[in-house]
Amino acid sequence: MTRPDDPAIPASAQERPAEIRPRTTARRTPGGASRRGPADPVKTLLHHHRDLCERAVDPLEIAAGLEAHGLTDRTAARYRHRDVFALAEELYARVPPRTRAPAAGPTTGSVPVPGPDADARAAWTLLALLPGAACLATAGVLRVTEGVLGDGTRALVTVVGAVLACLALRACLARGPLRAPEGAGRAGMYGCWLLSYAVYGEELLAQVMTGGPDGPWDGTPAPLLGLAAAVAPAAWCAHLFTVHAQRRLAGSRALEEFGAGVRPLLLASVTLFLGALLPLLLLADLGLGGSGTPVAAACLGVLFFVARLLAAHGLPEPGTAALAAACAVEAGAPALVLAARLPGLEPLAQPVNALVSTGGTGAVSALACGGAAVGLLLHAAFALSRASAHTRS
């Protein structure tokens, strides 16, 4: 044991070079202090291991930490304790509890905020602009070359544009806020069907109802252009929703509190998206000469957005189911009309007839997509207000 009155010690202490870490000498103090006999040897120990004691959630954690610092049962005897466990219990009891109580501070900092990097954000924003750009370029080329090129070449241009748009869409759904960590199941298939119907569906239904189909029919590409351009706002709305939900999650103490805070967020982000989508659709309509207000396309856009938002939070099934339902309704309308041509089944066409007579051929897809979107939105209001949906982002 180091004894202050030992003649050998001061000499060696003077010889000690300066680079010895102060830790070594500081650690020695508790033992020395206790031998010199302050009334409370544990207080010194507490001072030296204050960080450990304040961080500890359990006396055993203090015991483990003390042992890692070289304390043994024999050292604990110096502090008038039977073993390290008893010493640790005293330390745990003596650390002021108020230092253990505030938990919210580090929690807020430890929650990863998605997309903190401005570069990454710029990257996915750029990607999200690509599908719209591809569609716009295709439409532009087709418009300029009207009457210049032959039908075959124009068809080729259309196909190339469509492939480019698909590739861009794939790329921007694979990263950023629209990425679905668990895949989206068969949603892609249903999405293709819904998009084709948005382009060709009205014409098909009109022909079927007037006794057709009578051969090739023209599509209305305006919704396609508008929807492709709306991918970028969709990504931003999803990003804003995720970021704000995470922020709310970090600060919330109870699950109900969190749920009540997230529902308005969801509605706000959907409204924001709708607000961005409608002008885009109207512009596309103006540019490509569409027909009237694009209610069906807007409903389809909202449906896609909510479905993707759910998939991005690890819940792809409800979105897939809603898309499938919309597909079923859209496919059902022409099928009913065709079936009604069979003798005895005439009443089958009545609902479709009534619908078309009140709202035009677009009413069918507006009803299908709108119904599905509203249903899905209601579901999302519950599903996304669960805290467990926000762990994976």
Partner 1 sequence: MRIGLLTDGGYPYATGESRLWCDRLVRGLPQHEFDLFALSRSAHQEDQGWVRLPPRVSRVRTAPLWTPEDGTLRGSGERGLLARLVTGGEQSYGRRDRRRFAECLTALATAICTRDEAGTAAGEGTGAELFAEGLHGLAELARERGGLHLALRSEDTVRILEAASRAPGTGRTVQSATVPDHLAFAAELERALRPLSLDWYDQESLGAVDLCHAASGGPAALPGLLAKRFFGVPLLVTEHGVPLRAHYLAACDTPYAPPVRALLAGFHGRLATEVYRQAALITPGNTHVRRWQQRCGADPAKQRTVYPGMAAERFGRVGEDAERLGAAGDSDDAGGPDTLVWVGRIEPAKDLVALLHAFAEVRRAEPGARLRLFGAPADGDEATAYRAHCEALAAQLFPDEATGAHAEGVCPVTFEEIGGPEVPDLAEAYGAGGVIVLSSVVEGFPVSLVEAMFCGRATVSTDVGAVVEVIGGTGLVVPPRNPKALADACVALLRDPERRARLGAAARARALELFTVEQNLAAFRGMYLELISRTPVRREADTVDAHGDPLPFATPPEARLLGHWTQPGPHLRAQPGRARPGEPEPQHAREPEPEGVCAVAAGPAGDGDA
Confirm or reject binding of residue 32 to partner 1 (CB under 8 A). no
Which one of the spans 99-107, 198-206, 264-272, 340-348 is the region binding partner 1 (CB under 8 A)? 99-107
For partner 1, the closer of residues 103 and 118 by Cβ is 103
Nearer to partner 1, 250 or 329 (CB): 250
In sequence order, which ranges of 197-294 are alpha helices (DSSP H)? Answer: 202-209, 222-229, 231-251, 255-288
Our finding on whether 83 is near partner 1 (CB under 8 A) is yes
Helix H or strand E segment including 121: helix 118-144
| Total binding residues toward partner 1, as defined by CB under 8 A | 69
CB of 101 to partner 1, least distance (A): 6
Contacts of 264 (CB under 8 A, 6+ apart): none
Q: Which two tokens stand for residue 257?
A: 């509190």
Amino acid at 65: G
Q: Give Dmax (Cα) for the chain.
A: 121
Q: Is 110 in the site for partner 1 (CB under 8 A)?
A: yes
**Distance in angstroms (rounded) separating the CA atoms of residues 297 and 178:** 20
Q: Considering only residues 35, 42, 48, 67, which one is a binding residue for partner 1 as defined by CB under 8 A?
A: 67
What DSSP designation does 252 have?
-
Query: Whole-number minimum distance, CB 253 to partner 1, in Å?
Result: 5
| Residue 322 makes contact with partner 1 by CB under 8 A | no
- How far is the C-alpha of 57 from the C-alpha of 369, rounded, in Å? 53
Residue 271 as a binder of partner 1 (CB under 8 A): the answer is: no
The C-alpha atoms of residue 112 and residue 110 are separated, in whole angstroms, by 6
One-letter identity of residue 215: G
44 near partner 1 (CB under 8 A): no
Residue 133 found at the interface with partner 1 (CB under 8 A): no
The reply to whether 14 sits near partner 1 by the rule CB under 8 A is no
Determine if 255 is a binding residue for partner 1 (CB under 8 A): yes
DSSP secondary structure, 319-363, as one string: HHHHHHHHHHHHHHHHHHHHHTTSTT-GGGGHHHHHHHHHH-THH
Of residues 46, 60, 54, 195, the one with CA closest to residue 135: 195
- 29 touches partner 1 (CB under 8 A): no
Binding track over 169-188 against partner 1, x by CB under 8 A: ------------xxx-xx--
Contact 128, 165 (CB under 8 A): no
Q: Contact positions toward partner 1, by CB under 8 A?
A: 1-2, 6, 8-9, 12, 15-17, 19-21, 24, 27-28, 55, 57-58, 60-61, 64-65, 67-70, 72-74, 83, 85, 97, 100-104, 106-107, 110-111, 181-183, 185-186, 249-255, 258, 314-315, 317-318, 320-321, 379, 383, 386-392
